[in-house]
C-alpha cells in the first residue's frame, strides 16, 4: 500500500472529523513505523486542545504539543499507561479512566470528569473516541482533555458557531434561489429537505412537492444504482464531494442528464448533519459527446461501424471464442468494378449505391454480429459463433443471393456484384491478421472471376509462400539488372515498312529462365512494383531508340517504340516530369517514344488518367489505347481522351477470316477510329487471310507472329538498315 504524507503547513485548527479520518488511515499495518509516528503527530497537532492517542490497553502512543499546558513534556508520555502519568491530580485515576478505555475498546465513545494535573490543578473533562480501521474494528483510542474552567468560553463558542451555521444556511439559500443549477439539501439518508426553484425550469416540477421525497424516485432505472451509491459514499468520505452522472425524469416523461456533486455537512462531533447536492444539466453536452463518439467509431455515409469499432468488437469476439472454443468468421466484401458507377454516373450516385448496399447487407446480419464499412467499397462482416467455414459460407451465399437482384439508382436498375473472402479463427490470432486473411481470400475470389467467395483456409499455403518469394525476387529484379526488353515490329499495311515496335518486358531469372510478362506483371501491379519496373522500361526503350537512330536518314519518319503504362503509373504524380527527363537524357525526340494504356487501366480513375494524358500530350508524346474491345469499350472516351492510336485486340483479329460478326465489329471500330482521326493498329495477326481482310477494311498498321515474334533488339538491326 502506498501512502502520501500531507506536507501542507497547518495554518489553524482543522475539522476534528478530518483528524479522525487521518488517524483511521494511520492504523494501516503496512505503514512503516517512522511514517506512522510522524503522521500521527501531525494529525494530533491539528486539534485545538491537549490530545493523546492510546492503544487498546491504554498505553500512550503519542500526544500533541498542547499537553505542555499541563506541565508534561511530550517525550515523557509515550509508552506509559494513561493513568500512570502526572496528567491527573487524582488519588486513583485508573478507577475513572479504565471503564472509559473498556467502553472505547467496544467501539463506544464516552466522557468522564477528573481533576487535571499540572502547574495549576483544576477540574477537567476526558473525552474518548474510538478510531476504526478499514474493517470497522477499533484500532486505537483518541483521548482529549478540556478544563471545565473554560466551559463558559466553550458554551459561548458553541452558541456563536450555531449562529454562524444558521447565517451560512441563510446565505446558502439566498444563493440557491438565484442559481441556474439544481441545488438541494438532504438529510443523511438523502431525502430532500430543500430544493432550489431552478427545478421548475430544469424538470418542470414544483420545488415544494419534492420536500420529503427521495431523489431515487426521479432517477432513471439505468442510473438509479449510481445515485444510491453516491449518497451512501457521501456520508463516508468526510468533507470530500462525491461526483457522478445520472438521469432524472422530466415532468413530460423524458429523462435529462445531470452531473452532480454531493458534499456532506458535518456536525461538531464529526457525524453527517446533512448533505448538499449541486446538479448541472449536461443533456446537450452528453448528446454532443455521444455524437462525437459515433463519428469516431461509425462511418459517416452509411452509419455502420468503422474499422476502429470493428477491431474492438473483433478483439472481444476472439477472446470469447478462445474461452468457448467456438470459431468466429470474418467476411471481407468488396464490390466489383464499383469505380465504373462513380465515373459514369457521378460520385453522388456512388454514395447512394453504397448506402443501399449497406442496407441490403444489414438485412442479412444476425443479432450479435457486426457489419462495418472500412473504406471505399469495402465492407467486413464479423459473424460470432459460426460453425467454422461452413457457417461463414452460408452467410456468404446469402450475400451473393442478395446481390443477384439489381439496385435501383435514380430510376434505373444497376447490377452491382461483390467478391467475398472468408477467414475463420478460434481466437488465437491477431484481429488485423484475420482481416488481412479474409482480404487475401477476397482477391482470390476476384481472380477466379468475381461474384463469388473464397475461403482462406482452402488457399494453398505453398502457393502463398511461393507468391511471397516471387514478390521479394521481383523487387530485386531491377536492382540486379534481371529485366529485358523484347520488341515486336509494327508494319504499315500499305508500304510494308516497319513503322514502330511494341516494347515487351521479360524477366531473366538468375537460373536462366526467361519469365513472360503474364506470370509476373499481375503481381507487380498488385504490389506496386510495377511503378519501378515501368520506369526501367521507359528508360530502356529511350536508350534503344537512341541506338536505332543510326538506321534512318534525317528525312525519314522516326521508328516509334510503344511502351505500355499501367494504372498505377497513371497515378504517379511524377510520371510526366520523369518521361520528360528520360527523353532528354537519351538525346531523342518525343516522336520516338509513344505510350499506350489499356481500357481497364483507364477505368480505374478516368478523371485522373485524363489529366495525366493531357500533360503527356502537351510535351509531345503520342498516345494510344491498347487491347480495345476487351474492356468497357465506351466510345465516348475515344472522343474525350487525347489519343492518336487505337489498337484492336487480338481476340477480334483471330476470327476475321472465318467469323462474319468479328469482321463486322472490326470494320465498325476502324470506321469510328478513322472518323475520330485515330490510326488503327491490329494486334495478333497470324495469317495471310487475316492480313487480307485488314487491308480490305482499310486498317493502317498491324503486328503479330505473321511478321515476327517478340525478339531482342539486335534481331531487327538488319531489317531497319534496309527498311
**CATH number of the domain bearing residue 58:** 3.30.450.20
Tens of pLDDT, residue by residue over 608-646, are 778 889 999 999 999 998 877 665 445 666 777 889 999
Pairwise CA distance, residues 576 & 30, whole Å: 75
pLDDT at 571 (0 to 100): 84
The CATH number of the domain holding residue 324 is 3.30.70.270
Is the residue at 165 inside a domain? Answer: no
Residues 439 and 575 occupy one common structural domain: no
Is the residue at 622 inside a domain? Answer: yes
Residues 530 and 602 occupy one common structural domain: yes
Is the separation of the CB atoms in 490 and 699 below 8 Å?
A: no
Residues 115 and 234 occupy one common structural domain: no
Pairwise CA distance, residues 450 & 340, whole Å: 15
Output the CA–CA distances (angstroms, integers) from residue 42 to 5, 87, 263, 322, in the order listed. Answer: 10, 21, 25, 54
Averaged pLDDT, 346-363: 91
Residues 688 and 636 occupy one common structural domain: yes
pLDDT at 11 (0 to 100): 31
pLDDT at 615 (0 to 100): 93
Residue 459 phi, psi dihedral angles, 5° rounding: -75, 130
Is the residue at 134 inside a domain? Answer: yes
Pairwise CA distance, residues 715 & 150, whole Å: 124
Report how many domains make up the chain.
4
pLDDT at 582 (0 to 100): 96
Is the residue at 1 inside a domain? Answer: no
DSSP 449-486: TSSSEEEGGGS-HHHHHHHHHHHHHHHHHTTTT-EEEE
pLDDT at 697 (0 to 100): 94
Does residue 491 carry a pLDDT above 60? yes
The CATH number of the domain holding residue 703 is 3.20.20.450
Residues 671 and 558 occupy one common structural domain: yes
Residues 142 and 220 occupy one common structural domain: no
pLDDT at 586 (0 to 100): 93
Residues 282 and 355 occupy one common structural domain: no
Residues 323 and 435 occupy one common structural domain: yes
Domain of 116 in residue numbering reads as: 16-149
Residues 389 and 334 occupy one common structural domain: yes
Query: Full-prediction pTM beyond 0.85?
Result: no
pLDDT at 5 (0 to 100): 33
Does residue 152 carry a pLDDT above 60? no
Amino acid at each position: 500500500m502506498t501512502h502520501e504524507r500531507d506536507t501542507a503547513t497547518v495554518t489553524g485548527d482543522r475539522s476534528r472529523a478530518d483528524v479522525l479520518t487521518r488517524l483511521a488511515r494511520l492504523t494501516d499495518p503496512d505503514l512503516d513505523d517512522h511514517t506512522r509516528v510522524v503522521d500521527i503527530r501531525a494529525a494530533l497537532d491539528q486539534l485545538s486542545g491537549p490530545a493523546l492517542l492510546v492503544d487498546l490497553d491504554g498505553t500512550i502512543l503519542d500526544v500533541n504539543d498542547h499537553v505542555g499546558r499541563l506541565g508534561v513534556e511530550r517525550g515523557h508520555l509515550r509508552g506509559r499507561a494513561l493513568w500512570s502519568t502526572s496528567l491527573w491530580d487524582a488519588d486513583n485515576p485508573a478507577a475513572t479512566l479504565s471503564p472509559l478505555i473498556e467502553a472505547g475498546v467496544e467501539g463506544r465513545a464516552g466522557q468522564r470528569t477528573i481533576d487535571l494535573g499540572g502547574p495549576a490543578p483544576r477540574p477537567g473533562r476526558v473525552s474518548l473516541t474510538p478510531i476504526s480501521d478499514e474493517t470497522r474494528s477499533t484500532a486505537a483510542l483518541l483521548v482529549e482533555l478540556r478544563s471545565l474552567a473554560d466551559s463558559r468560553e466553550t458554551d459561548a463558542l458553541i452558541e456563536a458557531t450555531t449562529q454562524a451555521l444558521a447565517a451560512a444556511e441563510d446565505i446558502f439559500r439566498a444563493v440557491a434561489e438565484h442559481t441556474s443549477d439544481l441545488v438541494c439539501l438532504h438529510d443523511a439518508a438523502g431525502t430532500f429537505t430543500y430544493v432550489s426553484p431552478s427545478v421548475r425550469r430544469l424538470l418542470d416540477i414544483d420545488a415544494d412537492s419534492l420536500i420529503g421525497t427521495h431523489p431515487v424516485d426521479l432517477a432513471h432505472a439505468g442510473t438509479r444504482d449510481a445515485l444510491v451509491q453516491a449518497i451512501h459514499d457521501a456520508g463516508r468520505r468526510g468533507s470530500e464531494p462525491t461526483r457522478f452522472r445520472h438521469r432524472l425524469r422530466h415532468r413530460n416523461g423524458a429523462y435529462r442528464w445531470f452531473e452532480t456533486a454531493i458534499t456532506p455537512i458535518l456536525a461538531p462531533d464529526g457525524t453527517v448533519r446533512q448533505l448538499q447536492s449541486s446538479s448541472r444539466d449536461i443533456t446537450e453536452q452528453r448528446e454532443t459527446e455521444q455524437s462525437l463518439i459515433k463519428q469516431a467509431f461509425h462511418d459517416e455515409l452509411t452509419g455502420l461501424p468503422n474499422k476502429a469499432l470493428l477491431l474492438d468488437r473483433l478483439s472481444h469476439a476472439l477472446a470469447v471464442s478462445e474461452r468457448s472454443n467456438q470459431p468466429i468468421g470474418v467476411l471481407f466484401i468488396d464490390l466489383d468494378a464499383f469505380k465504373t458507377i462513380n465515373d459514369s454516373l457521378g460520385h453522388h450516385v456512388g454514395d447512394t449505391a453504397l448506402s443501399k448496399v449497406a442496407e441490403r447487407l444489414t438485412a442479412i446480419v444476425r443479432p450479435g454480429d457486426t457489419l462495418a464499412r472500412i473504406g471505399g467499397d469495402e465492407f467486413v462482416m464479423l459473424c460470432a459463433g459460426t460453425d467454422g467455414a461452413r457457417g461463414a459460407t452460408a452467410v456468404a451465399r446469402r450475400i451473393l443471393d442478395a446481390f443477384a437482384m439489381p439496385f435501383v439508382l435514380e430510376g434505373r436498375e444497376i447490377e452491382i456484384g461483390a467478391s467475398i473472402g472468408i477467414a475463420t479463427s478460434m481466437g488465437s490470432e491477431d484481429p488485423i491478421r484475420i482481416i488481412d486473411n479474409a482480404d487475401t481470400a477476397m482477391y482470390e475470389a476476384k481472380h477466379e472471376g468475381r461474384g463469388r467467395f473464397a475461403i482462406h483456409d482452402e488457399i494453398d499455403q505453398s502457393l502463398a509462400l511461393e507468391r511471397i518469394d516471387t514478390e521479394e525476387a521481383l523487387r530485386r529484379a531491377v536492382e540486379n539488372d534481371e529485366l529485358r526488353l523484347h520488341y515486336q515490329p509494327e508494319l504499315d499495311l500499305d508500304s510494308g515498312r516497319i513503322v514502330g515496335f511494341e516494347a515487351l518486358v521479360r524477366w531473366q531469372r538468375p537460373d536462366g529462365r526467361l519469365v513472360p510478362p503474364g506470370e509476373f506483371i499481375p503481381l507487380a501491379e498488385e504490389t506496386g512494383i510495377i511503378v519501378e519496373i515501368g520506369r526501367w522500361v521507359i528508360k530502356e526503350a529511350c536508350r534503344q531508340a537512341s541506338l536505332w537512330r543510326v538506321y534512318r536518314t534525317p528525312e525519314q519518319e522516326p521508328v516509334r517504340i510503344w511502351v505500355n503504362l499501367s494504372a498505377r503509373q497513371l497515378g504517379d504524380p511524377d510520371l510526366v516530369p520523369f518521361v520528360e527527363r528520360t527523353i532528354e537524357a537519351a538525346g531523342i525526340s518525343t516522336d520516338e517514344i509513344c505510350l499506350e494504356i489499356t481500357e481497364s487501366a483507364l477505368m480505374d480513375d478516368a478523371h485522373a488518367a485524363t489529366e495525366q494524358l493531357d500533360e503527356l500530350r502537351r510535351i509531345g508524346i503520342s498516345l494510344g489505347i491498347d487491347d480495345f474491345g476487351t474492356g468497357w469499350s465506351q466510345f465516348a472516351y475515344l472522343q474525350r481522351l487525347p489519343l492518336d492510336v487505337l489498337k484492336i485486340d487480338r481476340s477480334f483479329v483471330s476470327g476475321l477470316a472465318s467469323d462474319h460478326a468479328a469482321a463486322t465489329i472490326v470494320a465498325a471500330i476502324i470506321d469510328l477510329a478513322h472518323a475520330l482521326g485515330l490510326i488503327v493498329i491490329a494486334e495478333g495477326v497470324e495469317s495471310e487471310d487475316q492480313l487480307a481482310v485488314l487491308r480490305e477494311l482499310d486498317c493502317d498498321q498491324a503486328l503479330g507472329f505473321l511478321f515476327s515474334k517478340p525478339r531482342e533488339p539486335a534481331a531487327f538491326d538488319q531489317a531497319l538498315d534496309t527498311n
